């Protein structure tokens, strides 16, 4: 479809991942006219699919009490709102490494108590799967995984219901002030498209600075990692289990519900590269992607993980998903995952959003509702 060059909306959303789509639905439900732009052919196909699919309940963040507490609250909200996309039909265990771990078992127990996360001793047959010389303790926990494909289906139905105009294969490049609000420049199949909008939400995750760069605005300091999530067929004894070894250079193996496989990641080997993007001279995710897909490191992951859990040696690698993972540099030490919601980011009406983990959507929508919203204006 060839689009006419000019369009208008109350809000234009850049990025059709989970966050962009949910914000689009939220604003449309409030009566705003919304246009959503996605560069790829499909929605929720980038970070919102290429991740570990864990619905966080706090256990993963023993060094950040605030992220632990927010995860606890948002877990309940996420499971209640997106229950049809949440897979709970497996047993989830967290194990604590004896050496190299940043927390010990006593600290982990105390942390779970503080955030009110359910925890119990793992049964003997599960403990027996671990090398107890390397693993101090194993706990049964309550944690789910989400099915990203089902989530995409649900989100698409909501977008339709709320009459959000969705343009895929449309790449936004820059935003500039214009009479009555902002003008967003984009291209579809090489043809320029312009959108006049009162508000523009930049929901491009790792590419947040791409829009800011294009618009000549200051960048947001971000930390990127080129990450590999291996999808593997687990051996029978691990088929119904999700395992996470904490809190250091260890691994996770847990169901990846949109496939018959488990996701497999390793703190040391999953990141193929890591860098900060603070200034226009730093490498952008687009430049990193242009260097091509790296060779899988799943064999390194397997060889290290089987020392802790010998059955991991019997996984069968099916494929790997590569994605740039983006976090805030400020969380490098505590591994926390707060949201970034930067209102009027360089320009009045341009808002930048980084969700950091999927359940944080509730914090973002609360932030949008709580902020003193300017009166909805219909752009000319």
Ligand X SMILES: Cc1cc2nc3c(=O)[nH]c(=O)nc-3n(C[C@H](O)[C@H](O)[C@H](O)COP(=O)(O)OP(=O)(O)OC[C@H]3O[C@@H](n4cnc5c(N)ncnc54)[C@H](O)[C@@H]3O)c2cc1C
Q: Which residues contribute to the site for ligand X (CB under 6 A)?
A: 14-20, 37-40, 46-48, 50-54, 56, 171-172, 203-205, 207, 210, 227, 229, 323, 325, 355-359
Q: How far is the CB of 130 from ligand X (least distance, A)?
A: 22
CA R_g for the chain: 21
Q: How far is CA 143 from the centre of its chain?
A: 16
Nearer to ligand X, 134 or 304 (CB): 304
Separation CA 258–CA 143 (nearest Å): 17
Q: How far is the CB of 301 from ligand X (least distance, A)?
A: 13
Q: How far is the CB of 262 from ligand X (least distance, A)?
A: 13
Nearer to ligand X, 18 or 250 (CB): 18
Nearer to ligand X, 9 or 14 (CB): 14
Residue of closest CB approach to ligand X: 17
Q: How far is the CB of 365 from ligand X (least distance, A)?
A: 13
Classify burial at 35, counting beta carbons within 10 Å of its beta carbon; exposed 0-12, middle 13-18, buried 19 or more: buried
Separation CA 77–CA 74 (nearest Å): 5
CA distances from 270 to 174, 199, 263, 281, 356 (A): 32, 37, 11, 26, 17
Q: How far is the CB of 47 from ligand X (least distance, A)?
A: 3
Separation CA 333–CA 164 (nearest Å): 39
Q: How far is the CB of 129 from ligand X (least distance, A)?
A: 22
Nearer to ligand X, 14 or 105 (CB): 14
Separation CA 143–CA 120 (nearest Å): 13
- Whether residue 247 has a cis bond before it, omega within 30° of 0: yes
Q: How far is the CB of 21 from ligand X (least distance, A)?
A: 7
Nearer to ligand X, 196 or 265 (CB): 265
Separation CA 45–CA 16 (nearest Å): 9
Q: How far is the CB of 219 from ligand X (least distance, A)?
A: 15
CB 137 within 8 A of CB 130: no
CB 350 within 8 A of CB 344: yes
List the beta bridge partners of residue 243: 93, 253
Nearer to ligand X, 7 or 54 (CB): 54
Q: How far is the CB of 56 from ligand X (least distance, A)?
A: 6
Nearer to ligand X, 203 or 217 (CB): 203
List the beta bridge partners of residue 54: 145
Nearer to ligand X, 73 or 237 (CB): 73
Nearer to ligand X, 321 or 376 (CB): 321
Q: How far is the CB of 40 from ligand X (least distance, A)?
A: 5
Nearer to ligand X, 214 or 237 (CB): 214
Torsion sign (Cα): 328, 331, 337, 339: negative
């Amino acid at each position: 479809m060839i689009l006419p060059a000019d369009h208008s909306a109350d809000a234009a959303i850049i990025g059709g991942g989970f966050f962009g789509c949910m914000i689009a639905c939220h604003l449309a439900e409030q009566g705003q006219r919304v246009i959503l732009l996605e560069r790829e052919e499909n929605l929720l196909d980038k970070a919102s699919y290429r991740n570990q699919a864990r619905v966080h309940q706090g256990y993963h963040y023993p060094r950040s009490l605030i992220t632990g507490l927010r995860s606890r609250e948002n877990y309940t909200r996420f499971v209640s709102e997106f229950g049809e996309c949440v897979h709970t039909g497996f047993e989830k265990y967290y194990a604590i490494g004896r050496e190299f771990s940043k927390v010990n078992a006593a600290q982990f127990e105390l942390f779970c108590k503080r955030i009110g996360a359910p925890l119990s001793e793992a049964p003997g047959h599960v403990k027996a799967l671990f090398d107890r010389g390397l693993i101090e303790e194993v706990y049964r926990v309550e944690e789910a995984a989400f099915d990203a494909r089902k989530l995409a289906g649900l989100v698409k139905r909501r977008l339709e219901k709320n009459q959000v105009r969705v343009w895929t294969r449309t790449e936004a490049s820059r935003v500039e002030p214009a009479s009555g609000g902002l003008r967003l420049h984009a291209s579809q199949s090489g043809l320029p498209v312009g959108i006049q909008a009162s508000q523009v939400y930049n929901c491009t995750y790792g590419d947040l600075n791409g829009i800011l760069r294009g618009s000549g605005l200051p960048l947001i300091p971000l930390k990127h990692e080129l990450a590999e999530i291996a999808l593997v067929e687990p051996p029978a004894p691990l088929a119904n289990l999700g395992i996470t070894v904490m809190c250091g250079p260890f691994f996770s193996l847990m169901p990846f519900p949109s496939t018959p496989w488990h996701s497999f990641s390793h703190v040391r080997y999953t990141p193929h590269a890591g860098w900060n993007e603070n200034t226009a001279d730093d490498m952008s995710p687009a430049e990193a992607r242009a260097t091509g897909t790296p060779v899988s490191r799943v064999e390194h992951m397997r060889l290290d993980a089987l020392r802790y859990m010998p059955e991991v040696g019997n996984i069968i690698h099916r494929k790997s998903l590569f994605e740039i993972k983006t976090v805030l540099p400020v969380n490098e030490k505590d591994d926390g995952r707060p949201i970034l919601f930067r209102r009027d980011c360089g320009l009045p009406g341009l808002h930048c959003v980084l969700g950091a983990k999927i359940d944080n959507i509730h914090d973002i929508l609360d932030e949008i509702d709580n902020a003193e919203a300017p009166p909805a204006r219909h752009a000319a």
